Amino acid sequence: MRIDSKKWLASILGNAVRFDEPMSRHTSFRVGGPAEVFAAPESLETLISLVKGCEERELSYTVIGGGSNLLVKDAGIPGIVIVLKKCLSEISFREDQQAGIIVKAQAGASLSALCMKAVKQGFAGMNFALGIPGTVGGGIMMNAGTALGSMENVLESVTVLRPGGKIEEIQRKEMIFAYRKFGCKAGFKPALIMEGCFRLCPGDPEKLKKEADEILETRRKRQPIEFPSAGCFFKNPENGQAAGKLIELAGLKGTRIGGAEISQKHANFIINRDRASSADILALMELIRETVSKRFNVELETEVKIIG
């Protein structure tokens, strides 16, 4: 990156910008090479100035959430990585006689925090997302969900930042949802998601708390949360067995390459068992794909986003 671009970034971001920042510090996998620029704007105004300035200077940028569904390659990420945790982290609730409970959660807010606040307030509808790590914005972009539900069941609108700095609200009727995908019918791709508006309903706080405890306990028992990972690595095929079951039937549980391992507890988790590199994880990913394809004629698609 040119010196003048670095000076501009430092001038608008101050201490909120770092150069050659290891992404292993910012992903749940705890792997990844350096981001050329790592920017964490502390206000909405700074965020808009940053995005507009990048477009004007033709500087590439990547917006990430909590880094929980992300694998950054060992070579790192060119351009600018933008995180929203400091400038877009508010969660608010209001009651609406017609719509029920309306929750506004900014993109950088923790998805777990949103779920737990809803439980504490006695608002039902978000328990499906309990235990899913990452941010609200990342959850929307991935249409995050479990067997109990997904974002499309509760999301009413999203506020987006359009190229050029224009802020726009997208209503539910204009959204497109698919398995682990979110888009807009108008066909445009927003610069970034700023906020999600969710419709919940009144519930019994004690029952919601009990349900939440049971969901989290089940996740603890079934998933290898004691090791760094990015959650389920592959999407479940549209038909037939789940990805984890296919990997297990292929006899791959416990297989290791370098410091990466296919979890013994849940075969759709690749874990960073012992100082794994991104290359270790990618090699294990390819082994899984090839083996499942040969055994079951099923082509597994990654749920984890791979960048760099």
Known catalytic residues are 180, 232, 303
C-alpha to C-alpha distance for 305 and 144, rounded to whole angstroms: 13
Return the closest-CA partner of residue 83 out of 1, 22, 26, 32: 26
Nearest Cα neighbor of 195 from 280, 271, 109 is 109
Position 282, amino acid: L
Q: 36 with 1: CB under 8 angstroms?
A: yes
- What H or E segment, with its residue span, contains residue 115? helix 111-121
Find out whether 56 and 14 touch, Cβ atoms under 8 Å: no
The tokens 């919601």 sit on which residue? 208
Burial class (CB in 10 A: 0-12, 13-18, 19+), 187: exposed
- Name the strands in the sheet holding 260-262, side by side, starting at the edge strand that comes first in the sequence: 229-232, 269-272, 260-262, 256-257
59 contact partners, CB below 8 Å, separation of at least 6: 1, 5, 53, 79, 80
